[in-house]
Amino acid sequence: MTTNRATASDPRATLRAGLPDRYLTPEDLADMFRLPSVETVYAWRKKRIGPPGFRVGKHLRYDPAAVRAWVEAKKNAA
C-alpha cells in the first residue's frame, strides 16, 4: 500500500482526502492523528475533549462526519 506524502505528514490531509464509509474505531483515530497510544483517545473521551463517540454494545465507534466537524472546530478555534 502506498502512502500519500501529504497524508503522512498532516493528519488533517487524511480528513480532506476523505474518511472511510464506515464508523471509525479508537485505533483508527489513534492512527489517523498519530497519537502515542489508543489510550489517548479514551482519555479524550473521558475528559470530553475529543470527537463525540458512541457505543455499539461494548465497542466505541466514531462517526467520520463528527470527527471531521471536530477537526474543523479545532482549526477554527486556533
Give pLDDT, residue 26: 98
* Identity at 37, one-letter amino acid code: S
Q: What is the pTM (predicted TM-score) of this model?
A: 0.74
DSSP string for residues in 1-67: ----HHHHH-HHHHHHH---SSPBPHHHHHHHTT-S-HHHHHHHHHHT-S--EEEETTEEEE-HHHH
Q: Kindly list the averaged pLDDT for each block of 10 residues, start to end, along the chain of length 78.
A: 46 61 94 96 97 96 95 91
Give pLDDT, residue 78: 78
- Structural domains of the chain, ranges and CATH numbers in brackets: 21-77 (1.10.10)
SS3 78: coil
CA atoms within 13 A on the CB side of 8: 5
